[in-house]
Amino acid sequence: MKIGILGFQGGVYEHVGILKRIFSGEKYSGETIIVRRGGELSKVDGIILPGGESTTIGILMDKMGLTGELRDRIRGGLPVLGVCAGAVLMAKKVVDKVVGEKEQNTLSVMDIGVIRNYFGRQIDSFEVDLHIPVIGEKPFRGVFIRAPIFERLNNNVEILAQVGEASVAVLQNNMLAVAFHPELTNDYRLHLLFLEMIKK
C-alpha cells in the first residue's frame, strides 16, 4: 500500500519514520509518499494529515491547489488519519478556545466540531495515558501539544478516547482524527489501526 503524508509543514517525517519501521516488518508492505501537489495524491491508498499549524497548512494546501482534490478523494472514501492540526483541517466546524471563530481554509469533510488549542499554549503541553479500547487494553501514551478537542456533529461519529469529558480520538467511516501525536511515541497501534482501515 502507498501511504501519502501531506508534506507542507509540521510533523511529516515522524510519520514516515514510523511507517518505514512498520513496513520493514513481516505483516505489512508499502511505501510512503510525501504529498504536496495533485499528481502525488492520485497515487495514494490512504493519507495522513500531520500535526503542525492548521492555518498555515490550510494556506499552503490552497496555494498548491490541493484543497478540492483532497476533499473529493476523502469524500470518495480515501482513508485519512488527521493528527491534531490535521484533524482541525478535517472538521466541519472550527473555533479557537481563545479567539473564537476565525476564517481558515479547511477540508470540512468530517462531522466534528473542534475547539483549537483547548488545553492552552505550547507551554501547557502534557502527556497522559489514554484508554482506547479499539486498539487494546494497554494504555496509549497521548502526547498533547496545543491540542484541540472534538465534538460530534453526527451520531455516526464514534468516540474512541477521552480526556475527562473531552473527546480526543474519533472515527467516522474512512476518517480517523486524533488530538494527540501518536508519531511521537514508539507505540504503532494507531498507525496499524489506520493501515487496517486501508486494507478493508
Chain residues binding ligand GLN by CB under 6 A are 51-54, 84-85, 88, 116-117, 145-146, 148
Cα–Cα separations (whole angstroms), residue 13 to 10, 95, 136: 9, 28, 26
Write down the least CB distance from residue 85 to ligand GLN, Å.
Answer: 4
Looking only at the bridges linking them, the beta strands covering 140-144 and 126-130 are antiparallel
Tell me which residues are annotated as active site: 84, 181, 183
Q: Which is nearer to ligand GLN, 1 or 184 (CB)?
A: 184
Write down the least CB distance from residue 182 to ligand GLN, Å.
Answer: 12
Of the candidates 81, 78, 79, which has an alpha carbon nearest to the alpha carbon of residue 188? 81
Write down the least CB distance from residue 86 to ligand GLN, Å.
Answer: 7
Q: Which is nearer to ligand GLN, 1 or 60 (CB)?
A: 60
Q: Which is nearer to ligand GLN, 146 or 191 (CB)?
A: 146
Write down the least CB distance from residue 168 to ligand GLN, Å.
Answer: 12
| Alpha helices, H only, the chain | 12-23, 38-41, 54-63, 67-75, 85-90, 189-199
Element (H, E) at 161: strand 158-163
d(Cα 70, Cα 34) in Å, to the nearest integer? 14
Q: Which is nearer to ligand GLN, 118 or 188 (CB)?
A: 118
Q: Which is nearer to ligand GLN, 117 or 172 (CB)?
A: 117
Of the candidates 143, 127, 122, which has an alpha carbon nearest to the alpha carbon of residue 190? 143
d(Cα 41, Cα 44) in Å, to the nearest integer? 6
Write down the least CB distance from residue 124 to ligand GLN, Å.
Answer: 11
Cα–Cα separations (whole angstroms), residue 44 to 38, 62, 167, 191: 11, 19, 29, 16
